[in-house]
Structure 1
């Protein structure tokens, strides 16, 4: 699918394959939503726009239709002082869930994508990450400043595919808007 990249651990235990099916279904619905609302998103995603407008757009689907909770404080990792509070969280089962983060201007310039991956890695109740990022960020003159989707997709891929470099996140799904 164009505008979507999926990264999954190289070897999934049998019990997680069913969970992965549920996560893939959520991902498919999110991707369809992005495709169906491209024109609405284009009006919202302009130079100088507030990130909250983009997050509110995705909240309509994630919170109202798919059942994600908004800005839930996750269980802190033992030994770490963290109060991870993702944009959205979906509980798959007891102690297992999906974090969804909506990014905009600081996606790669401020490494928000890597911070979101770290959040999913250290949170004991988060095992999947949905990163919703711009295809392009814009300059004032309307030309592309950077292309977060391509960069984020490549960076996330570095943590998957080889058990030696994999982290404690079962899957990362990167969506372009």
Structure 2
């Protein structure tokens, strides 16, 4: 099953020089994620009872080749919250991209909203890449849920003009 991509952005973001680089990076990432070998690794990691770390490890080497740093420390040092860090971070000119990989707790524990909040408070990143499951099955006996559609519906509301926050764009990749 191919990886889908939905992007939400603020109206004037196309004028931002960083956005062009972020858009280019999202295209390269999507191309990598849709390679047959990568799809197979992600599918193997997205099994009932597994966690997002397995999915993260399935793509880690190639994501780092795209310039992302794994679990970058220090991005939130001005806040009281200890240990807060993204799965990946990439500097883009004057801004950056936080890249978060989710699986089972994406909507049940509001991890998608936590990821958006982390990007909102991060002074070094105004863009969020979020990799979430299209078919999430928590146990072999349960039906799968389409977390990707839920996340798109939830995060899309922050990109309506009256709801803007300090995130210029979110790229939601559905696996």
Question: Given the two structures, how large is their TM-score scaled by the length of structure 1?
Answer: 0.88
Give the direction of change, closer, same or farther, for the CA distance of 1:50–1:161 in structure 2 (3 Å limit). closer
1:139 is displaced (CA, Å) by: 3.9
Q: Distance in 1 between the 2:51 and 2:150 partners?
A: 22
Question: What secondary structure sits across from 2:163 in the alignment?
Answer: coil
- The unaligned stretches of length 5 or more in structure 2 are none
The match for 2:52 is: 51
Q: Tell me, in whole angstroms, the C-alpha distance in 1 between the residues paired with 2:146 and 2:112.
A: 13
Instruction: Report the count of equivalent residues.
Output: 171
Runs of 4+ in 1 over 6 A off after TM superposition: none
Deviation, 1:140, is 2.4
In the alignment, what sits opposite 1:151?
150
CA contact (8 A) 2:3 2:33 kept: no
TM-score (norm 2): 0.89
CA distance in 2, matches of 1:142, 1:25: 40
Query: Cα distance, 1:133 vs. partner?
Result: 0.5
- The answer to whether the 8 Å contact 1:129/1:172 transfers is yes
Q: 1:74 to 1:127 in 2, by over 3 A?
A: farther
Q: Deviations over 1:111-164 (max 9, x none)?
A: 0000000000011111000000011111423654321100011111100032x2
1:63-104, Cα deviation, whole Å (9 max, x unpaired) = 1x10111111243376x423530000000124x110000001
Q: Is the 8 A contact 1:77 1:124 kept in 2?
A: no
- Where does residue 108 of structure 1 map in the other structure? 107
> Structure 1 residues 103 and 2, CA, compared in 2 at 3 Å: closer, same or farther?
closer
